[in-house]
Amino acid sequence: MNRIEQTFSILQSNNKKAFIPYILAGDGGLNSLVDRLSILERFGASAIEVGVPFSDPVADGPTIQQAGLRALQNGTTLKGIIAELEKAREIISIPILLMTYLNPIYSYGIDKFVHDIRSAGVDGCIIPDLPIEEEEIITPQLEEAQIELIRLVTLTTPLERVKTISSKGRGFLYTVTVKGITGVRNEYDAKLQQFLKTVKEISPIPVMAGFGISTKEQMAELTEYCDGVIVGSKIVDLFAQNGLSEMEELMSSFKQETKLV
């Protein structure tokens, strides 16, 4: 049982929900990454998703795209990110998830990538452009390293495929809440609540909702149907604006309303 399983086991045994913030490594300078991870843990994050900047993202909205450009202009590399995560693991106790596209992994070398992120204390890996039909190129290495591959489903994923995807792994199922890219949303598809409820009934592992979640009202609404939320663009914006007090208030309100550990 790695840190992801342990975290959800504790949350579920206490009937509590998970809050996973997303940050883009290198935005604000790579040397700020350890400090930002520490801040998020202190504010009550259950785990943290760390994004790797990529020149051709397929799932990222304007906020994260711009953060990625800033990070790349700062000279951020996958190797540099992994080195900073290794430093962070000395002081961070919660799970760390690395989100990257497949091309940077190929360029880095699959075996070396898995070896290095294991050494850095990474607990899970999210690869949005890796379909389950092709994941055998990396899953054996990840399983041997005890790193969870976090898989995604969307509103357009057929239920039979949801069953297949959710039957794999022991981390959590990332359920995309919008038909499109990341970014703050004011409203959701009318079918979202039922979809989350159905996915929750199907999935043998915890279900997390992500994409477009930015307010405590949205978080409270969605967590009625799943095990927690992943918040990206809002967190990226608040770090860029130095809005730490607003970030702390947002996470604190979630903790109170959903009884987060």
pLDDT at 62: 81
Query: In this predicted structure, what is the pLDDT of residue 184?
Result: 47
Rg (CA), the chain: 17
Q: Of the residues 27, 49, 116, 227, which is catalytic?
A: 49
Q: CA-CA distance, 113 to 130, in Å (whole number)? A: 15
CA 229 to CA 222: how far, in whole Å?
Answer: 8
This prediction's pTM: 0.92
Among the listed residues 27, 60, 123, 148, the single catalytic one is 60
Q: Residue 175's beta-bridge partner residues?
A: 153, 209
Average pLDDT, the chain: 91
CATH fourth-level superfamily of 17-251: Aldolase class I (3.20.20.70)
Phi, psi of 46 (to 5 degrees): -80, -35
49 a catalytic residue: yes
User: Which stretches in the chain have pLDDT values below 50?
Assistant: 180-185, 260-261
In the chain, what are the domain boundaries?
17-251
**Per-residue H/E/C for the chain:** CCHHHHHHHHHHHCCCCEEEEEEECCCCCHHHHHHHHHHHHHCCCCCEEEECCCCCCCCCCHHHHHHHHHHHHCCCCHHHHHHHHHHHCCCCCCCEEEECCHHHHHHHCHHHHHHHHHHCCCCEEECCCCCHHHHHHCHHHHHHCCCEEEEEECCCCCHHHHHHHHCCCCCCEEEECCCCCCCCCCCCCCCHHHHHHHHHHHCCCCEEEECCCCCHHHHHHHCCCCCEEEECHHHHHHHHCCCHHHHHHHHHHHHHHHCCC
Verify whether residue 60 is a known catalytic residue.
yes
Are 188 and 177 in contact by the 8 Å Cβ rule? The answer is yes
